[in-house]
Amino acid sequence: MLLPLSSPRVDIGQAMAAVLQVLKDCPNMTIAGLAKATGIDRRTVGKAIDLILKVQESLSSQKMEKERVGKTWIISIAKRTSEFIGTAKGKVRR
């Protein structure tokens, strides 16, 4: 996603989407390279990368689900089943 150089400020959500889109095509880039490829300021790209890494870290051990109940959306976070299996392996005796 290449934005014009005279583009207005980009919010963090748009920056994250643009960075992830560029990384799909070229998985190894520097922050400066990502900034040039997206047309977004280098500092904003750095903040987007930091936020993506924090989300990735928190979701590696947790699972987020979205379920519709009537007219309401219920958002829940639970531990991943691999952790449950790992703890169960330690408790099972043969």
Mean confidence (pLDDT) of the chain: 84
C-alpha to C-alpha distance for 64 and 60, rounded to whole angstroms: 10
Share of the chain above pLDDT 90, in %: 56
What residues form DSSP beta bridges with 35? none
- Burial of 13: CB neighbours in 10 Å, binned 0-12, 13-18, 19+: exposed
Contact indicator for 63, 83 with CB cutoff of 8 Å: no
Decide: helix, strand or coil at residue 65: strand
pLDDT, one tens digit per residue, over 39-88 is 999 999 999 999 999 999 888 888 888 999 999 999 998 887 755 565 66
